Every structure is written in structure tokens, then in C-alpha cells.
Amino acid sequence: MALSLAIVDAFTDKPFSGNPAAVCRLTADRDARWMQNVAREMNLSETAFVVPRGDFWALRWFTPTLEIDLCGHATLATAHVLWESGAVPDGSAIGFRTRSGMLGAKRSGEWIELDFPALPTAPADAPPDLLDGIGARPVAVAQSTYDYLVELENEASVRDLEPDLSLIARVPARGVIVTAAATTPGFDFVSRFFGPRSGVPEDPVTGSAHCALAPYWQQKLGRDQLLAYQASPRGGIVRVEVRGERVALGGKAVTVLRGELRDV
């Protein structure tokens, strides 16, 4: 029996921008080795596997090399696929059971809004290889649950960054977030995300990183609602709102491929 498979560009409304994720709809649980093989075959930053569980859906995410605990863009893509396919009625909220607890998704006009945990940062000393890997002078260094966060002096420094990924791969974290206040009109901050240690050299748009970026910039800018741009070559827009211990992540999505995965 073939399984439904889609590739969705997340945090964008234009094909071939944002962050592509593969979404595989399962009819029953599959073992992690099989899912990892599929994710390696897809060779995208994340492949999501979703299976119905009564009133909610079980959701797991894999990079080409490992299973991860939290992923924003693949969750956004999964919600988009479930609504678009009719598996969930359009307008109905979706609950996902994940390794990071229960996550939510709902429509908010043209946007999809995700309910994710906030991941506040704390000031930290830069570990060996971090600053040499970034190759830029930091304004501040902090650490969240999964990543190091490095603030640079301006948006141009973030956009022009040419990191040494072999050094960043030695940093003991899922990845490294580089960020600065935005000078592009309409945006509050920009960022990039590098995760070579997790099999993702540069992630186009990283929803889970914004669970740390949102409270970080909330404290600096004094506002709960912010609009962010991830300045990767593909680029993407993330709307964030800090709600206590949770963060609302808003984004759009567009399907670029629908097909079937042979159940092998």
C-alpha cells in the first residue's frame, strides 16, 4: 500500500522559498529506523511523520541524520497538509502529540498559527569554536534549551555572514542562531540558523529557533508581538507572539509536490 507524501514550502506563500518539509501521512506506527531511512531519502532539513490518534495526531520529525525534539516548519507543513487534504476539516484546530508535549495549530486568517513552548535564553560564555565559526564579533551570546544564540551588531552582519560550518559542527548544541535587530522596514529582527551537527548546514527558516528568539527580542524591544525574517538564501517570514510560557508562531505555507511513497 502506498502512503501519501507531500512537500510543502513553509513560512512563505511563494513556491521555492521558505523552508521545504516532507510530510508523510501514516495509517499506523512505523519504527524509527524506517522513518530515518525515508528522511534520508527526502534529504530535506526535516521530514514529518503523522498518524491519527483519535482526537489528536502523533507527530515525529527527522533530519537526514537524526530524530529531533521540536520542529516548527515541518509542523506548519503538516497542519497545512491535513487541512488541504481534508483529513481535518478546514477551520478545525489540530492537536499534535510530540516529543515536546502537545502542540497546537489553528487558522488565523491567511496564516497558520502554531502553539509552541517558549525557550528562553540565558547569557552564556561562548564555547570553543563558536566565535571562530561565526567569524564575527558578537554583541551578546546566550543559550536556550537546544541552541546557542549570537546577537550581532546589525542586520547586514547577519546577512553577510559566511560561517565556518566545520567549526560550528563542533559546538555542543543542536545548532547556532545568529540574529540582529532588523533595519528592513516592517520587520523587528532577522536571523539565520546553522545546524551542521544535526545534519542541517543552514536551515532556510527555523520555527523552533523562534521559540528562543521571540522571548529574547521581547525583552530587548519591549513588545510581545513581533515580525521576523530569516535571512537564508530562500528566506521566510515568521510572526511571533510571546504568551507567558508559550510562543505563537505564525506562517503561511504552499504545497509544491504531492505523491505516493511505496510502503517498502
Secondary-structure breakdown of the chain: helix, strand, coil percentages, each rounded to the nearest 5 = 20, 40, 35
DSSP 58-82: EEEEE-SS-EES--HHHHHHHHHHH
243 Cα distance to chain centroid: 19
105: Cβ contacts below 8 Å, ≥ 6 apart: 75, 76, 78, 79, 93, 94, 96, 112, 113, 114, 115
Which residues are known to be catalytic? 46
Cβ–Cβ < 8 Å for 188, 214: no
Q: Give the whole-angstrom CA distance, residue 39 versus residue 106.
A: 26
Element (H, E) at 135: none
